[in-house]
Structure 1
Amino acid sequence: MMEGFLRAFRHSRDRHDIEAMSDESLRGLGMTRDQARMLNALPDDVPARVAAMARVHGLSDAEILADIDRWYALLQTCNQCRDLPSCHRFLAREDLDTLADEGPVETPFCPNTAVFAAMAAR
């Protein structure tokens, strides 16, 4: 219960900070106000899940962040995932860090798989 309260308090504080930022400051961070709001509203584990799945497909953090609009689309898609249990089981694998070295990885449960595969093919 306390954790939920603290999370709600942090999100409220962050929303206030986002609204107080100038457009120039937000541009300096590489995002719009709407993107900052969306990022603040996401559960904390979504960016980590997207980054982990991208690494499984052989992509670096820099590669997935290179196109900020695509990054936000990946986050939104992940946040709407309908198969989190499969995702959590997959990301809990002990061999996760070496999977990308073994060739293409099949993640049919992930709604971002096609985007990751297309990015990795470049």
Structure 2
Amino acid sequence: MFEWIRRLARQDHDLATISALGERDLSDMGVSREQALNLAAMPRAIPARVQAMGRVFDLDADALQRDRAQWVNMVETCAECPHTLECRSFLSLGDFARPGAAGFCPNSAAFRGQTAAA
């Protein structure tokens, strides 16, 4: 219960901080105000899941976030994904998870594209 309250307080602080940012700051970050607010309100498990799936494709967090617009799109796609249970099961395989078995993931093409570009 205490963790939930702490998370809400942190989220409120993050939303207030983002609301105070100027358009130039947001532009430098490569996101719109709406995207920044959506990302701040999003459960932390979603970006973590995108990073975990990225590791299956041999992409680290820096590589995933290099193209900010694509990163935001991937996180938003993950947030709306209907395959969450399948994804969790797949990611629980750890080192045994292979890119070829991730066809259910709506971000798999983006992961493959980043792997090819690396």
Counterpart CA distance in 1 for 2:90 and 2:27 is: 36
Q: Are the aligned partners of 2:30 and 2:69 in contact in 1 as well (CA < 8 Å)?
A: no
Question: Can you list the C-alpha shifts for 1:74-120, whole angstroms capped at 9, x where unaligned?
Answer: 00000011121111122222425xx56xxx43212212112212322
Counterpart CA distance in 2 for 1:4 and 1:60 is: 29
Counterpart CA distance in 1 for 2:72 and 2:12 is: 21
Output the amino acid matched with 1:40.
A
What TM-score, normalized to structure 2?
Answer: 0.81
Question: Can you list the C-alpha shifts for 1:19-46, whole angstroms capped at 9, x where unaligned?
Answer: 1122333344443322211210211111
Compared CA separation, residues 106 and 94, structure 1 to 2 (3 A): closer
Output the amino acid matched with 2:7.
R
Q: Which residue of 2 aligns with 1:113?
A: 108
Unaligned runs of 5+ in 1: none
What is the RMSD computed on CA atoms of the aligned residues? 2.1
Q: Which residue of 2 aligns with 1:31?
A: 31
Counterpart CA distance in 1 for 2:43 and 2:23 is: 24
Counterpart CA distance in 1 for 2:112 and 2:29 is: 27
Q: How many residues align?
A: 117
Matched, 1:17 2:17: yes
Q: Are the aligned partners of 1:57 and 1:105 in contact in 2 as well (CA < 8 Å)?
A: no
Counterpart CA distance in 1 for 2:33 and 2:68 is: 13
What TM-score, normalized to structure 1?
Answer: 0.79
Output the amino acid matched with 1:15.
L
